[in-house]
Each structure stands twice: as C-alpha cells, then as structure tokens.
Structure 1
Amino acid sequence: MSIPKTHPFPFDPTYGMTLDTLRAIAPPEAPPGFDAFWRKRYERAIATDPRPRVQRSALTHPAWRILDITYVSTGDVAIGGWLLLPRGGTVRRGVIVGHGYGGREAPDFDQPVEETALLFPCFRGMSQSRHPSIPPDAPGHVLHGIDRPDDYVIGGCVEDLWLGVSTLLALYPWLDGHIGYVGASFGGGIGALGIPFDPRIARGHLVVPTFGDRASWLTLPTVGSADSAQAYAKTHEGVLDHLRLFDAATAAIRITVPMLVAPALFDPAVAPPCQFAVANAVPTSRDNEIFVLDAGHFDYPGMLEQNYALREKLRRFLQAL
C-alpha cells in the first residue's frame, strides 16, 4: 500500500479507518417508498423518446470516429456529449461513460475497448448540457432542488443516464443486452443509483463512487460536493431525510449484474467510508470484484501502476458484454 503520508488538508482523508474497518461498513437501510420512488422515475424515463441527433465533430482521433450528439431527457432537458465509434470493425457493444463533478470538456479516448460504441453524455446542468436554471458548478449543482425529491437534480442526472441507454438502443438496436456503464466519483454515484433500476444495463464499473451512506456524507469533512450540502443542512431541516432517497449504497444493494468497483482508502473529496458503503453493498458473487485503490482524487506513489492494473481488469470485464 502507498497511502499518502502527507497532504495539505485540515482533516485526515482516511478518517482513521483501515481496510478492515472500511470493509465492515454496512449500507444503510432503505427509507419507506425507496423502490417505488425509483421505479416510477424509471418508467417515466423509458417512456421518453430521446430523439438523438448526431453530427460530425470538429474533434479527430486516429482510432475513433467522433460525433457530437444531443438527446432529449426527462423534463425536455437537452443532453449534449459525444459518441465515439471504432474506425475499423463492427459495433458489438455499447458503453456509457459518466464524468466527475468537474463535468467533461471532451471525450476520454483512452478506453480499453474494441468494437464498442462509447457514449459520453454530460449530465444535466454541466458542460455540454448547461441549463439556465441549474448551477454548473459542483457546490451549486448538488444543492439544486435538494429539498424537493421529485425535482432534485441528482434524480434528473440518473434519468439522463437511462435516456443515454435509450439513445444507444435507438441508434443501434442490436446492442440490447450488451450495454455497460463506467463512471467515477460523481459518475460513480449516478451509476450506483441508476444501474439497479435499469435492466438494460448489463454490467457496471464504478470508481471512487460518491453519494453512499448519506448520513456520513453529510457529516465527514471533505473538499468535495458534500461540503456545500453540509453547510446547507446546518440551516435547513430535513435534508438527510430527502437525501436518503438518493443514497447510492442503498441502491447498490439492489444491483444484480456483474460489477467492478474501485473504492479508495484515502480520499479528500469523497470520503472512503461512503465509497465502501457502496462497494460493500454490491452483492457478493463470482462475477463481482472490489479493486481497492490506495487513494482517490490525489496523486500518490504507485498510482500509475494501480491505474494500469485496474485498466486491464476493466478491459477483460467489458469484453464480456
């Protein structure tokens, strides 16, 4: 292990926990109506026609044909992003790639896949999906609608993921049963919330996922998006009650497809106890794996080697789609 020994933060990004104590964290119980809340949202989402539109992008890459893409999500919200298609070979699988809370200004071309359509959506309010009523920055975005569960922006982002699946199937119907999701940090939390309720997603990869164990998420010091939510909760009652409906660990218990989850032991932006609440919630099976990183959202010795090892696992994991 190469957990960072020095750092600039006024708190301990390990929160005093070891791998053993992290692996012992249990996910929180679901609040009343949790499953009904998400099933209703899913039924509304898949009834929405995404109406995808593509055009040649100004971006170029030797291995990928790059298309700018837009599709319609719930609430008639326009989602923008990129679609990458292999220059050679056929499209045998589809993978949706989420992003962190910094948004995404371009697709990530370094994906360990072949014969794959890669969809890089920008979730509502951010980057290519800016919206006049949604703050584009993480501290403001994470608070948008937080007191109104039906309107909370995080729920809308999960629906954006589901409409991304609908978009891939509208463009390539033969990908039915062969669509996966990859997401880190913010994108990891969105994936943990969305995968359990969408049977069209066949497997998922989550890296340092956020939004797990919301009670801890609202109390543990952080430099991530939870910081603004913690400040807000001090003057607004009932925030935790609302957020329990958006607990990624509670949702992850319900995942039934193969998963590769990579939580970190040290992370100043997404508290490791919250990450492991998600990782531990994924049911144990021979198809699921937890790959422990020494740190997240922070450079550390051995990071390149760990990232390479995880990338190779992801390569094999996605080949099974």
Structure 2
Amino acid sequence: MSDGPLPERSAPPPEPADFDAFWRTTREELTRAPLAWRVHRRYDDPGLDRWVEELSFDSSTGERAFAWVTYQREGQPTRGMVVSHGYQGRADGPDEHVPVPYAAKIFPCAPGLPRSLSAAIPAVTAEHVLHGISSRDTYVHRFCVADIWRAASVLLERFPGIEQLDYSGGSFGGGIGALALPWDDRFRRAHLSLPSFGHHPLRLRVPCTGSGEAVRHRVAREPELRTVLGYFDAATAATRIRIPTFVSVARRDSAVPPVGQFAVYHALGGPKRLYLLSAGHTTYPGQASELAARDRELATFFA
C-alpha cells in the first residue's frame, strides 16, 4: 500500500427525512412478486472446481434477470453469498474471486446490464446510471438494489440448508450493496470494495471517468435531481448497516472518487475493517501482492 495522506473525514451528506420509510416500502413492494426462478443449465467447471448453474428469475423490473450459481462438488452448503459486480456487468461467467470456497454463491446480473438485458433500460453505463433518475420511484438503482434481495431469496430457496448469508460487491456492486444491506437482516457479513455512490454532494464536485461523470453533468443541468440522489446515497445507507463489514478503498481512483469510498467506510454503523489499496480501477506495480494480502484478510474475515 502506498504512503500519503488519506482524505479527511467529511460531514455526512444531508438525508431525506423519509429515507428509511422509502427503502422499507421499496423492500416490501419489490420483493412481493414470486421469483419464478429456474435453472437452464448445469455443468462441472474444472477451472473453478465447482458446479455451476445458469438460471433466471423474475426481476423487480418485471423482466427476467440472469444469474450464475456456483457450489462445491460434495456436500450440502450451509453458507451462502450474494456476489454483485461492477458497472461493466458480467457477461462471460461467474467471477469467482471471493475467498470463501465452501459457500454456495449467486452472481446476479443487474437489471439492464449484460445477461439481464432489458427492452427499456439501456446497457451503456453512462445511460444506465441516468435511467429513470427524474423520480426516486423510477430510478434504475432502486431496481438494482431490489434484485440483490431477490437474488438472495433465489439462493436460499435453491439451498434451504444455508445458515449464514454474506454479501460481496465491488464498485457499482459496492454501492448497490451498501444500499441493500440495511433493509435485509438475512445478511451477516459483507465486503464492499471501492464502493460507489457514496456522498453524492462530494462526488458531484469531482470529475471522474466512471458513471459519476454522467450524473455530474446531468445534475449540473438539472440541480433538482439532487433530491432524488439523496435516496440513493451509499454513505447515508451505510449509517444503517450494523453487520461486520470489510471495506477495500483506494487512495487514488479515476473512476470512483476516493472521497466517496471513504465516506461509505466512515459512515458504517457497525463493526468495520478498512483495507487500503494503492489505486482502484487500474493496474499498478505491486497490485497482485496487495490483492493477495487483502484476500488473505478477507478469508479470515469471512471465516
């Protein structure tokens, strides 16, 4: 990890008075419909040394969502994990990088992104992040959060012997995870890596190469959208997270401003662990050793 000063702890973002009520209502409304999940294909993946299933379920959008499920070849899993993804989506298969080999894992694809493509939601990141942003009820991130809860339900129905459910998500998945976790007490531990959507008032001041840039330009034209973004602030949601949470943050990151990543970490309301990476969303000397060391700590954390 590189040396140098860390971002100062910032004052929390202003939050809507009905933030909790909005998300509790969202959870009730968007998890009510049947999951109607089904497995389309099952195969033994020698590279992962695990069984893999490709399945679909009814998304909170009313369309079909896609996911991979992986699990060990022997025995019935008692541990489960929902693993989200970055804003590039996942099109080619499960990204089995979380060091919890004994868990059954579900890798859902967010609404509108690759393998959960939508007739209404654009797949291009700069367009996806703006879809429905004129209202808190139609903003695409509301449905992305709800599909985390729905994916968790699919996994628990698929493996009813699961006794502990965890979460892992990076970048987009880190921010969406922070928004999802406070309202679902089935999750026991979480890893948020380079979490996005933290502290929108600060993010909107910082040019970036990620999805936040499209939001920054849109809000510059329509400042009233700040009110909508207040309901989708990962730092505000983090104050409600009480489960142990491991957060990987970057000292420098052109895609997700570190000030937002640190805001999510500082806001967490329960036990937390910080792991500093030299950079995010790029390659750099020593990256492999940093990530290997981080993953060793993660394995202990989840164990």
1:52 to 26, 37, 62: 37
The one-letter code sitting in structure 1 at the alignment partner of 2:283 is: D
Q: Secondary structure at the match of 1:84?
A: strand
Map of 1:168 onto structure 2: 155
Separation in 2, partners of 1:37, 1:150: 9
Separation in 2, partners of 1:204, 1:215: 25
1:157 to 144, 147, 153: 144
Are 2:43 and 2:51, in contact at CA under 8 Å, matched by a contact in 1?
A: no
2:247 to 240, 261, 282: 261
Separation in 1, partners of 2:206, 2:223: 18
The one-letter code sitting in structure 2 at the alignment partner of 1:147 is: S
Map of 1:75 onto structure 2: 61
The one-letter code sitting in structure 2 at the alignment partner of 1:31 is: P
Query: TM-score, normalised to structure 1's length?
Result: 0.89
* Structure 1, 51-60 or 96-105: larger mean CA deviation: 51-60
Q: CA RMSD in A?
A: 1.6
CA shift digits 1:121-180 (9 cap, x unpaired): 00000011000110101100000001111010001000000101111122122325x111
1:217 to 203, 215, 222: 203
1:29 Cα deviation from its structure 2 partner: 3.4
Map of 1:277 onto structure 2: 263
* Structure 1, 66-75 or 244-253: larger mean CA deviation: 66-75
CA 1:233–1:59: 2 relative to 1, 3 Å: farther
1:30 Cα deviation from its structure 2 partner: 1.9
Map of 2:105 onto structure 1: 118
Separation in 2, partners of 1:111, 1:276: 21
Separation in 2, partners of 1:116, 1:55: 21
Separation in 1, partners of 2:165, 2:261: 24
CA 1:278–1:110: 2 relative to 1, 3 Å: closer
Query: TM-score, normalised to structure 2's length?
Result: 0.95
Identity %: 38
Separation in 1, partners of 2:266, 2:292: 23
Separation in 2, partners of 1:232, 1:27: 23
Separation in 2, partners of 1:52, 1:312: 34
* Structure 1, 83-92 or 178-187: larger mean CA deviation: 83-92
Q: Secondary structure at the match of 1:111?
A: coil
1:239 Cα deviation from its structure 2 partner: 1.2
1:236 Cα deviation from its structure 2 partner: 1.8
1:88 Cα deviation from its structure 2 partner: 2.4
1:50 Cα deviation from its structure 2 partner: 1.1
CA shift digits 1:184-226 (9 cap, x unpaired): 0000000000001111111110000000001112220100001
Are 2:69 and 2:106, in contact at CA under 8 Å, matched by a contact in 1?
A: yes
Structure 2 gaps of 5+ residues are none
Separation in 1, partners of 2:264, 2:237: 8
Separation in 2, partners of 1:61, 1:83: 15
- Asked whether 1:102 is paired with 2:102, we answer no
Are 1:90 and 1:115, in contact at CA under 8 Å, matched by a contact in 2?
A: no
2:236 to 232, 235, 250: 250
Number of residue pairs matched by the alignment: 301
1:297 Cα deviation from its structure 2 partner: 0.6
1:283 Cα deviation from its structure 2 partner: 2.5
Map of 1:12 onto structure 2: none
1:73 Cα deviation from its structure 2 partner: 2.3
Q: Which has the higher contact order (CA 8 A, sep 6+)?
A: 1
Are 1:93 and 1:179, in contact at CA under 8 Å, matched by a contact in 2?
A: yes
Separation in 2, partners of 1:192, 1:27: 15
1:309 to 287, 293, 300: 293
Q: Superposition pairs for residues 188-203 of structure 1, below 5 Å?
A: 188-203=174-189
Map of 1:2 onto structure 2: 2
